[in-house]
Chain A
Amino acid sequence: MSASRWRRAMQGGFQQPALQLPARSQPAGSSPASAGGVETDPYAESNAPRWLKFLWRHLSARHVLIFLFLLAYPFVATPFFTFQVAAQSLVLGLIALSLTFLGGYGGIVSLAQMSVAGVAGYSIAIFGVSSTPISLGWPWWVAVLVALFIACACATVVGWLSVRTEGIYTIMITLAFGVAFYYLVLQNYSLFNGFQGFQKVYPPDVFGLNWREPVPFYFLTLFWAMAGYLAVKWLVRTPFGIALQGVRDNPRRMEALGFNIVAHRVAAYAFGGLLAAIGGVLLVWYNGLITPGSINVGWQINILVIAVLGGMRHPIGAFLGSIVFVLLQTFAIDLIDRERFNLVIGIVFLAIVLFSTDGLLGLWDKLRTRMRHQTSDSVASTQRH
């Protein structure tokens, strides 16, 4: 059997789910092929630090513009838009980013990400300060660290249990874990305070700033959202990230090459869990409370909706999706009844899934290629005449 036939046979044995296609329309330079280490580095001569060279190579005008816009935004927008719209979008985007990372780069669609965020949220309420006597009242930084650790550990365990099965099973198993966790916090009063949950869980006053004020909170969320986004961007270019994408595309071949696919997937879960946990802590601080209602199945699915809405093959899709989601949520009142928000989001989600394989970004790509075809067609036709 020739090498090419063998390769085809290996690939043919695996049907890739629609979402797990290799990223095809990422910005130049971040695609796995060029990150393989063979690219020529035009800045190899200069002895600037590596990260500076990296920035130089990948930064374009639109990145700088968007960054400046994000910095200036809270000083232009009203507090409502800063806090309710922007900060909420960034927090939800960060949680959705963990799913985008898992789904887009690991090929694992986990519905438990909101539950991981919920574990972090509940932990910070239990160990930190709230209006409920169950809270232990530890200093905020200890509580945050413990919360992140516990959530990461839970994500790892969920990952370890669910990666043993594949693809379509993962979504069922993670959903089952998520819903079971919801019922646990709903029924349990001694630790999770049941239906009432925890109220008055606020961010601490540090450096003389009240971090619950719209502008400081906006910058707090912006910092962590950027950190998460850049971390994902960086991680998918590391040897681990490349191997993870290999596992997504063809696990059997990766295993034959000597990669431990279970370990890669579990590590992906752990990293995704960290992102979700940071988002979870911020979400609790944003809402000022955590109840079973904030981690119910509706919210677990909302995270998926956000990630899919934006486009699961790009980290930025998570934030795009969350902005659309939050805007719809905020202004659905004006469109129709406030109670019917779920109907609106459900229909939007269905439309996106039915008509695009890669969310809004996919639609945008399609539109752009069509425009380009049309312009080139019209140019050709004018030339002919």
Chain B
Amino acid sequence: MKLTAKHWAWLLIGGPLLVFSIWAIADNTRLYFVTLLNGLTLAALYFIVASGFTLVFGLMRNVNLAHGSLYLLGGYVGFIVAEKTGWWILAVATGFLAAAILGLLMQVLILRHMQGQDMRQTMVTIGLSIVIADLLLWAFTAQVHQMDAPEWLHGPIRGLPLIKAYSAYRLSLLGFGVAIGIFLWWLLTRTRVGAMIRAGVDDRNMLAASGVNVNLVFAITFMLGAGLAGFGGVIGAVELSMVPGEDTRLLLASLIVVIVGGMGSVVGAALGAVILGLAETYGLAYAPTYSVVFTFVILILVLAFRPRGILGRPA
């Protein structure tokens, strides 16, 4: 019986998607595939930002609502460094570091002192996000900042099948996303710290009882999560512009990715990012004024049928 229900679900979701795909390919092949690539590259960016969010949440049950602010901070820092030195790689590194250090400070100075008080921690991150956002607005004004892509990723790649040409930088986002995914997989499954993090996700108290310095693991994870937001900020700053309000957008994306994919699961974050990225870009391409509705529908469907997300487990 269960199998048939599953089949029905696949049919109900997959059927309309298949019909749409066939129609869209027949209608305008290039648009369809360009949108597909756009969706996947956006998904890569979402994945990088949301994986940090989900790591922190999974381990510490801490909803870091300042995650969007960390993203924006990373972007701005990277922008300054790139402008001063002209080294894009350096900009990425400093963006990562700036957000990571701020995240570490947040964890060590404030959040550590209210462990176990989920709601209060969340309130604190809300307060921090208001303050950080306003300080950034003060320092960088409401002007739109845009970073240049590095030399070696300038211009389009030509001669691709079906879509002819595509921005090299956007394509590289996909590479970054995959690289971060592989890095996280390696970190979580092949290293000692990763084993501790996974153990902490499953049972914090047991981890502490077995002699691991949980505070250190928490600090490292928070740093990594914040750093990933900053990293996303720098590489996103080329494609999406940096302007106050982007922090909200990326926070929303992280929230939805994590809710849809399943909280605390990195694979879930990847799945959620792909779903959200595709839904957003296809929505924008085919139904511009209602594109957010697709996001709504996905959110509602997932919450109605899988309240813990597609790959979520009971806490």
A169 touches B263 (CB 8 A): yes
Cβ-defined contact, B248 with A357, below 8 A: no
Report A-chain residues with C-beta under 8 Å of the C-beta of B252.
175-176, 179-180, 183, 297
A333 to chain B, nearest CB (A): 15
Known A-B contacts A19-B119, A20-B119, A168-B118; the reply to A173 vs B134 at CB < 8 A is no
Q: List chain A residues, Cβ under 8 A from B263.
A: 169
A-B pair number, CB within 8 angstroms = 124
Contact A342 B123, beta carbon cutoff 8 Å: no
State the CA gap A354–B109 with chains docked (Å).
Answer: 12
| Contacting residues, chain A, for B122 (C-beta < 8 A) | 168, 171
Please measure, in the bound complex, the distance between the C-alpha atom of A261 and the C-alpha atom of B122, giving whole angstroms. Answer: 24
The distance from the CB of B41 to the nearest CB of chain A, in whole angstroms, is: 20
Mostly, the B contact residues are helix
- Residue pair A17, B259 in contact (C-beta under 8 Å): no
Q: Take A172-B63, A183-B292 as given contacts and tell me if A340 and B116 are in contact as well, using a CB distance cutoff of 8 Å.
A: no
Taking a contact as CB atoms closer than 8 A, the residue among B117, B255, B290 that contacts A175 in the complex is B255
In the assembled complex, the CB of B243 is this many whole angstroms from the nearest CB of chain A, namely 14
Q: For the complex, what is the distance from the CA of A20 to the CA of B120, rounded to whole Å? A: 11
- Which chain B positions have C-beta within 8 A of A61? none
With CB as the reference atom, state the residue of chain A lying closest to B304.
Answer: A161
Do B307 and A164 have beta carbons less than 8 Å apart? yes
Q: How far is the CA of A19 from the CA of B122 in the complex (A)?
A: 11
- Given A20-B119, A167-B119, A169-B263, residue A190 in contact with residue B289 (CB < 8 A): yes
The answer to whether B131 and A346 have CB atoms under 8 Å apart is yes
Chain A's closest residue to B258 (CB) is A172
| B116, B117, B127, B252 pick with most chain A CB within 10 angstroms | B127
Stretch at the interface among B70-78, B220-228, B294-302: B294-302
Cα(A187)–Cα(B251), bound, Å: 18
| Contact in complex: A342, B118 (CB < 8 Å) | no
Contacts of A68 in B (CB 8 A): none
Whether A304 contacts B299 by the Cβ 8 Å rule is: no
Residues of A within 8 A of B293 (CB): 184
* Residues of A bordering B, CB below 8 Å: 15, 17-20, 109, 161-162, 164-165, 167-169, 171-173, 175-177, 179-180, 183-184, 187-190, 296-297, 301, 304-305, 308, 339-340, 342-343, 345-347, 349-350, 353-354, 357
Q: How far is the CB of A280 from chain B (nearest CB, A)?
A: 20
- Give chain B residues whose Cβ lies under 8 Å from the Cβ of A296: 248
Q: Are B118 and A17 in contact (CB under 8 A)?
A: yes
Residues from 117 to 136 in B contacting A, C-beta threshold 8 Å: 117-120, 122-124, 126-128, 130-131, 133-135
- B63 near A184 (CB under 8 angstroms)? no
Query: Is the Cβ of A167 less than 8 Å from the Cβ of B118?
Result: yes
Please judge, given known A-B contacts A168-B63, A171-B63, whether A187 and B118 are in contact too, CB under 8 Å: no
Q: Which of B110, B118, B248, B259 contacts A297 (CB 8 A)?
A: B248
With both beta carbons as reference points, the residue of chain A lying nearest to B307 in the complex is identified as A164
Residue of A nearest to B118 (CB): A168
Cβ-defined contact, B117 with A184, below 8 A? no
List residues of chain A with CB within 8 A of the CB of B137. 339, 342
Tell me whether B134 and A184 are in contact (CB under 8 A).
no
B303 at interface by CB-CB < 8 Å:
yes
- In the complex, A264 Cα to B116 Cα: how many Å? 26
Chain A residue numbers with a CB within 8 Å of B123 are 304, 308, 349, 353
CA distance A169 to B264 in the complex (A): 12
**Among A17, A109, A189: residue with most chain B CB under 10 A:** A17
B152 interface contact, C-beta 8 A: no
- B65 in the interface (beta carbon within 8 A): yes
Contact of A165 among B255, B258, B307 (CB under 8 A): B307
Q: Pick the contact of A349 from B127, B259, B307, B308 — CB < 8 Å?
A: B127
Do B289 and A354 touch (CB < 8 A)? no
The CA of A168 and the CA of B308, in the complex, are separated in Å by 12
- B241 at interface by CB-CB < 8 Å: no
Contact between B126 and A168 (Cβ–Cβ < 8 Å)? no
Q: Closest A-chain residue to B127, C-beta based?
A: A350
CB distance from A212 to the nearest CB of B (A): 31
Report which of B63, B130, B131, B288 forms a contact with A187, defined as CB distance below 8 A: B288
Q: Is B43 an interface residue (CB 8 A)?
A: no
| B170 CB-CB contact with A under 8 Å | no
With a CB–CB cut-off of 8 A, which chain B residues contact A301?
126, 130
* Chain B residues whose CB sits within 8 angstroms of the CB of A354 once the complex forms: 110, 124
Tell whether, in the assembled complex, residue B110 and residue A173 are in contact, meaning their CB atoms are under 8 Å apart. no
Neighbour of B290 across the interface among A161, A172, A188, A343, CB < 8 A: A188
Is the Cβ of B303 less than 8 Å from the Cβ of A162? yes
Chain B positions 231-284 with a Cβ under 8 Å from a chain A Cβ = 248, 251-252, 255-256, 258-259, 263
List 21 A–B pairs whose Cβ atoms lie within 8 Å, in order of A's numbering.
A17-B119, A17-B120, A19-B119, A162-B303, A164-B307, A165-B308, A167-B119, A168-B119, A176-B252, A177-B299, A180-B299, A183-B295, A184-B293, A187-B290, A297-B251, A343-B130, A343-B135, A349-B130, A350-B128, A353-B120, A357-B120
Contact partner, B255, options A15, A162, A176, A339, Cβ 8 Å: A176
Q: Once bound together, how far apart are the Cα atoms of A15 and B120, in whole Å? A: 13
* Interface pair B138/A340, CB less than 8 Å apart: yes
